[in-house]
């Protein structure tokens, strides 16, 4: 009966202090929701992508050869256990009239990899049917329309019927389709045609799927590590194939050349015979012409007619002979040209593209990683503030119940029985908050973020699951904050005797504060102001906790706004302050200087191009023991001084760095990754895996990509290679998208350009990529604002409950309601102002820490917090303070003064 009665008292405590109980639940709920939700988002995004890709059976590796894929390539890989091999055709087709570039693939319904998914229509059943990328609908194409591809070299037909629209796991981005070396250089969409329609003798790509990675999730480190081994194995197996394939092509070409030579030889003999016959015919006709004059007149006319007919035939035969001689000469010249081509054939190149080379794949993974980086800092700090306020609330609650604890001890209740109430209270509040937070955080935040990203990626469903690591951490943290705080205070209180507990705790003695020593200021303060300032320093713990709580919440909101500002400033910091050129033209490899005339003429003829400069661009690698190999772009301009107009290099102190012949300049993030300092010696590996030793002459700021810069003389010195330009940097006036596409088309038409990339498209892509994080930032800001409101309300509520006798006393003494309210609010205003000021510092430090965690090898986020961010975060905190002020005023008006003053009796 005793325990039953005590249990009722426990629940009566909850109903009596509903505001505090609900506040504890809300704080735990918000902290758990954000922590578990954001920490679960990356695993959910990665898992959802993995489920989609496994359902669609995306190949793990694609092997593309400039010499095509043959059965010999597949035979080399036959002995690899668990390897599945498929192959197909692909090529780029440019439609100049529509200004479109289409990547055409072969379709084979027997294939087990890279499954297409119909968004509408049906799969091809006839040879003249085509499937189009579902993005082609935006261009006005419909099922049943006739689609034209005028490429007689690649295809057996040109007219096709559209039967369906599809998505492909090779393209997970819904925004871009990659780049091409034809047309305007940018793929508009893809198409699939039945395999039998392709003319080529050899296929273009080989798709590989490995059994030993199926148990791993695509974005996991385990998958990446195993695929690195798999790729190395494939590269090793095919290492001899480039040379062998070159010999095969040369042998085939030589055989065809032999047949042509035989045909030419036969033609020469036939031509010689024809020439002899023609000469004989000429001699015969000359003899006949001489004999006509000796004939009688009646026979002369008929003989003359026969001679005329014969001469006409002779002229025809002579014309045919000349034509054959011309064709024979052309054939002989072509043979010589073919011989030279065979002799000078370029080495066959095999390219190995894993899943991360697919369009949009790396971007999605990077976005997921950035969310994880934010989750490692922001929610943890949020969680810390929530736990701290919860700890404070529970501690104050136990301290307020000293008299009740003393009474129960006097009545004979054991320490365990007395503690049971607070254990139940703590567990109930924590359990409700944790359950609501875990369920909401797991089921809503990842889904919301996935939904907001869905317009950029093909993934159609979020596969949500409970990630027990953050859940368990949340449970432990909040149980410590609630139950732990209650038990800590109880342990202290229960040591005291009932008589001591039944007496109210002696108030802290009043002391002179620092302001009192400043007489001119202190004398001008009103009585109420003096009381408020004395109370502030009298209860330092309460003041400190309030300031910490408000500063934490303001800092969280500022960090949210700061993240938005910083993430959106990457492009602005990179393009303009650093990169001053507007485009890069990629030239064919080993292009002689004489062959660039058409390109330079095209650039000079374009009114929008103001200048251009040649450079050598190459991907190189840095390797260091116990660290992952990293790639970066090597840029070698033709003239270092001119290069300063195209690229502005600055060190961390914003001092201009110039390229010199004594060393290379490297970007900051890569230098930090490898602990590289100015003056260090570094080994790099070029595209041919040749090792080069370089000296670092400077470290420069950069936000997108990783770069290494050298002068032309220094490059030739360290590489032992003669400089050859393979790129052109363009400076232009502001161009429209149409003008950029037209220039790209003109350059590609020279047949000497591989691709033209404009900075405007990079800026657009970067801004679109970063925009995905805006949703997360707004979620963080909203939840931080809610936490700030609950914290302010809770701290004010604690302040009132602790000082209810004091407040009742001044009401009895005749203070008006507004004066009583200001007695509390004045302190809150000071707490709020100090908290906001401290919060600005906390928010800046927190933003910097998150950005540092979120930055990667190829992307660095600048710390940019605009004045509006300070205004919003501080303003919201003030608004929450005003709302709490209004609620406090209403509550103080209804204090029962008699009950409060009799509470100690």
Q: Which residues contact 530 (CB under 8 A, 6 or more apart)?
A: 522
Phi (first) and psi of residue 700, to 5 degrees: -125, 160
- 291 contacts: CB under 8 Å, gap ≥ 6: 303
Cα–Cα distance for residue pair 404/427, rounded to 1 Å: 20
**pLDDT surpasses 90 at 212:** yes
Beta bridge partners of 457: 173
Distance CA 426, CA 485 (A): 9
Q: Is 751 left (phi over 0), alpha (psi -120 to 50) or beta?
A: left
Q: At what angle do helices 540-567 and 759-802 cross, to 10 degrees?
A: 170
Asked if residue 613 lies in contact with residue 727, where contact means CB atoms within 8 angstroms, the answer is: no
Instruction: Express each pLDDT in 567-598 by its tens digit.
Output: 888 888 888 888 899 988 888 765 555 567 78
Task: Tell me how far apart the alpha carbons of residues 246 and 133 are, in angstroms, rounded to a whole number.
Answer: 35
pLDDT 10s digits, 3-33:
666 667 667 777 777 777 888 888 888 888 8
pTM: 0.75
* Four-CA torsion 800, 801, 802, 807, nearest 10 degrees: 50
pLDDT band of residue 440 (cuts 50, 70, 90) is very high
**pLDDT, tens digit (0-9, with 9 covering 90-100), for 789-836:** 887 777 777 777 666 666 666 666 666 767 776 777 777 788 888 889
| In contact, 851 and 863? CB cutoff 8 Å | yes
What is each CA distance from 64 to 69, 215, 340, 586, in whole angstroms? 7, 26, 26, 20
| Residue 595 CB contacts under 8 Å (≥ 6 apart), including other chains | 752
Going by C-alpha positions, the residue among 96, 89, 355, 74 that lies closest to residue 237 is 74
**CA 376 to chain CA centroid, nearest Å:** 18
Sign of CA dihedral 233, 235, 240, 245: positive
Average pLDDT of the residues of the chain? 81
Cα–Cα distance, 726 to 746 (Å, whole number):
18
Q: Measured in whole angstroms, how far is the alpha carbon of residue 293 from the centre of its chain?
A: 97
| Burial (CB count within 10 angstroms: exposed 0-12, middle 13-18, buried 19+), residue 863 | middle
Distance (Å, rounded) from C-alpha 218 to C-alpha 223? 6
> Are the C-beta atoms of residues 186 and 143 closer than 8 Å to each other?
no
Residue 156 pLDDT exceeds 60 = yes
Burial bucket for residue 506 (CB in 10 Å: 0-12, 13-18, 19+): exposed
Sign of CA dihedral 454, 457, 463, 467: negative
Has residue 364 got a pLDDT over 90? no
Ramachandran class of 68: left when φ > 0, alpha when ψ lies in -120 to 50, beta otherwise: left
- Please list the helix, strand and coil fractions of the chain in percent, rounded to the nearest 5, in that order: 60, 15, 25
731 sits in which H/E element:
strand 727-732
Question: Which of 848, 37, 893 is CA-nearest to residue 442?
Answer: 37
Q: How far is CA 799 from CA 2, 302, 532, 793, in A?
A: 33, 138, 13, 10
Terminal Cα distance for the chain, rounded = 27
Which of residues 529 and 785 earns the better pLDDT score? 785
Distance (Å, whole) CA 539 – CA 550 = 17
pLDDT in tens, 541-551: 777 777 888 88
| pLDDT band at residue 366 under the 50/70/90 scheme | confident
Residue 566: what pLDDT? 86
How far apart are the C-alpha atoms of 645 and 640, rounded to whole Å? 10
Between β-strands 203-210 and 117-121, what pairing exists: parallel, antiparallel or unpaired?
unpaired
Beta strands 129-133; 117-121: pairing state: unpaired
Contacts by residues 72-76 (CB-CB < 8 Å, ≥ 24 positions apart): 72/241, 72/244, 72/245, 72/248, 73/206, 73/238, 73/241, 73/245, 74/206, 76/237, 76/238, 76/241
* pLDDT one-digit tens code per residue, 310-333: 666 667 766 776 766 666 677 676
Nearest by Cα to 617 from 638, 631, 639, 634 = 634
How far is CA 88 from each of CA 113, 195, 238, 280, 576, rounded to the nearest angstrom? Answer: 11, 8, 18, 59, 43
Q: Residue 372 is inside which H or E element, if any?
A: helix 361-375
**Whether the Cβ atoms of residue 615 and residue 728 lie closer than 8 Å to each other:** yes
pLDDT of residue 804: 64
Q: Is pLDDT of 715 > 80?
A: yes
What lies within 8 Å, CB to CB, of 889 at 6+ separation is 817, 818, 821, 825
Give the pLDDT band of residue 370 (cuts 50, 70, 90): confident
Three-state SS annotation for 836-858: HHHHHHHHHHHHHHHHHHHCECC
Alpha carbons 558 and 847: distance in angstroms, whole number: 8
Nearest to 361 by CA among 234, 230, 182, 178: 178
Q: What is the pLDDT of residues 228-275, one digit of tens each?
A: 899 999 999 998 888 888 787 777 767 666 777 667 667 666 666 666
Answer left, alpha or beta for residue 412, where phi above 0 means left and psi between -120 and 50 means alpha: left
Summarised one tens digit per residue, pLDDT across range 782-798 is 888 888 888 777 777 77
The per-residue pLDDT for 52 is 92
Q: CA 260 to CA 445: how far, in whole Å?
A: 70
**DSSP type of residue 727:** E
Partners of residue 627 on adjacent β-strands: 624
Distance CA 393, CA 397 (A): 6
HSE, CB side, 13 Å, CA atoms: give it for residue 505. Answer: 13
| Least confident interval from 46-55, 751-760, 837-846 | 751-760
Measured distance CA(351)–CA(206) in Å, rounded:
10
Whole-number Å distance between alpha carbons of 632 and 635: 10
């Amino acid at each position: 009966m005793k325990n039953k009665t005590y249990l009722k008292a426990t629940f009566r405590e909850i109903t009596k202090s509903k505001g505090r109980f609900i506040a504890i639940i809300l704080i735990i709920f918000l902290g758990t929701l954000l922590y578990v939700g954001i920490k679960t988002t990356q695993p959910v995004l990665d898992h959802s992508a993995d489920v989609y890709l496994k359902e669609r059976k995306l190949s793990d590796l694609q092997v593309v050869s400039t010499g095509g894929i043959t059965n010999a390539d597949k035979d080399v890989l036959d002995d690899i256990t668990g390897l599945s091999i498929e192959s197909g055709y692909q090529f780029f087709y440019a439609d100049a009239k529509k200004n479109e570039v289409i990547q055409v693939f072969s379709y084979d319904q027997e294939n087990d990899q890279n499954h297409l998914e119909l968004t509408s229509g049906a799969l091809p059943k006839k040879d003249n049917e085509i499937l189009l990328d579902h993005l082609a609908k935006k261009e006005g194409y419909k099922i049943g329309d006739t689609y034209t591809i005028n490429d007689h070299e690649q295809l057996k037909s040109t007219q096709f019927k559209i039967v369906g629209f599809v998505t492909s796991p090779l393209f997970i981005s819904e925004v871009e389709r990659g780049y091409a070396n034809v047309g305007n250089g940018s793929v508009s969409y893809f198409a699939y045609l039945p395999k039998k329609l392709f003319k080529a003798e050899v296929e273009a790509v080989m798709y590989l799927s490995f059994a030993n990675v199926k148990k791993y999730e695509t974005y996991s480190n385990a998958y990446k590590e195993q695929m690195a081994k798999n790729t190395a194995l494939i590269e090793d197996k095919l290492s001899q194939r480039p040379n062998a394939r070159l010999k095969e092509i040369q042998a085939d070409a030589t055989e065809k050349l032999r047949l042509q030579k035989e045909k030419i030889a036969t033609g020469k003999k036939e031509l010689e015979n024809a020439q002899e016959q023609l000469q004989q015919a000429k001699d015969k006709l000359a003899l006949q012409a001489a004999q006509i004059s000796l004939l009688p007149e009646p026979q002369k006319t008929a003989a003359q007619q026969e001679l005329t007919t014969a001469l006409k035939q002779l002229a025809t035969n002579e014309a045919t002979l000349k034509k054959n001689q011309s064709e024979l000469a052309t054939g002989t010249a072509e043979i010589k040209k073919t011989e030279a081509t065979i002799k000078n054939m370029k080495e066959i190149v095999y390219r190995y593209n894993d899943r991360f080379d697919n369009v949009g794949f790396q971007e999605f993974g990077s976005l997921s990683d950035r969310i994880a980086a934010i989750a490692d800092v922001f929610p943890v700090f949020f969680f810390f503030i929530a736990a701290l306020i919860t700890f404070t609330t529970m501690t104050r609650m136990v301290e307020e119940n000293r008299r009740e604890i003393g009474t129960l001890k006097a009545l004979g209740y054991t320490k365990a029985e007395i503690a049971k109430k607070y254990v139940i209270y703590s567990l109930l509040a924590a359990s409700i908050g944790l359950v609501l937070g875990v369920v909401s955080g797991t089921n809503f935040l990842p889904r919301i973020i996935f939904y907001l990203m869905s317009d950029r990626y093909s993934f159609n469903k979020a596969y949500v699951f409970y990630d027990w690591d953050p859940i368990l951490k949340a449970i432990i943290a909040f149980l410590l904050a609630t139950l732990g705080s209650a038990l800590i205070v109880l342990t202290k209180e229960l040591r005291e005797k009932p008589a001591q507990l039944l007496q109210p705790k002696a108030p802290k003695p009043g002391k002179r504060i620092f302001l009192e020593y400043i007489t001119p200021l202190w004398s001008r303060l009103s009585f109420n102001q003096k009381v408020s300032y004395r109370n502030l320093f009298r209860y330092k713990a309460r003041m400190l906790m309030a300031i910490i709580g408000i500063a934490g919440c303001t800092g969280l909101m500022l960090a949210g706004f700061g993240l938005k500002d910083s993430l959106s400033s990457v492009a602005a910091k990179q393009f303009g302050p650093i990169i001053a050129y507007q485009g890069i033209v990629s030239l064919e490899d080993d292009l002689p200087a004489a062959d660039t005339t058409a390109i330079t003429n095209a650039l000079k003829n374009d009114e929008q191009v103001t200048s251009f400069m040649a450079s050598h661009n190459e991907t190189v690698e840095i390797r260091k023991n116990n660290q992952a190999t990293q790639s970066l772009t090597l840029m070698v301009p033709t003239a270092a001084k001119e290069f300063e107009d195209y690229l502005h290099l600055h060190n961390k102190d914003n001092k201009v760095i110039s390229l010199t012949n004594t060393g290379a300049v490297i970007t900051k993030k890569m230098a930090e990754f490898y602990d590289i300092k100015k003056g260090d010696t570094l080994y790099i590996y070029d595209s041919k895996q040749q090792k080069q030793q370089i000296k670092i002459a400077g470290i420069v700021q950069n936000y997108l990509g990783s770069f290494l810069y050298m002068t032309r003389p220094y490059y030739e010195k360290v590489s032992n290679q003669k400089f050859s330009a393979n790129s052109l940097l363009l400076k232009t006036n502001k161009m429209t998208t149409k003008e950029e596409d037209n220039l790209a088309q003109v350059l590609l038409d020279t047949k000497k350009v591989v691709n033209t990339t404009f900075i405007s498209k990079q800026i657009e892509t970067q801004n679109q990529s970063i925009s995905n994080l805006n949703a997360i930032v707004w979620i963080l800001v909203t939840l931080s604002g809610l936490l700030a409101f609950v914290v302010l309300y809770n701290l004010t509520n604690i302040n009132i409950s602790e000082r209810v006798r004091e407040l009742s006393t001044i009401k009895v003494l005749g203070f008006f309601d507004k004066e009583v309210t200001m007695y509390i609010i004045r302190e809150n205003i000071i707490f709020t102002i100090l908290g906001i000021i401290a919060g600005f510092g906390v928010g800046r430090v927190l933003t910097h820490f998150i950005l540092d965690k979120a930055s990667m090898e190829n992307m660095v986020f600048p710390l940019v917090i605009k004045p509006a961010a300070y205004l919003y975060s501080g303003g919201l905190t003030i608004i929450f303070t005003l709302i709490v002020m209004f609620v406090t005023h209403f509550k103080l008006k209804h204090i029962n003064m008699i009950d409060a003053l009799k509470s100690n009796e």
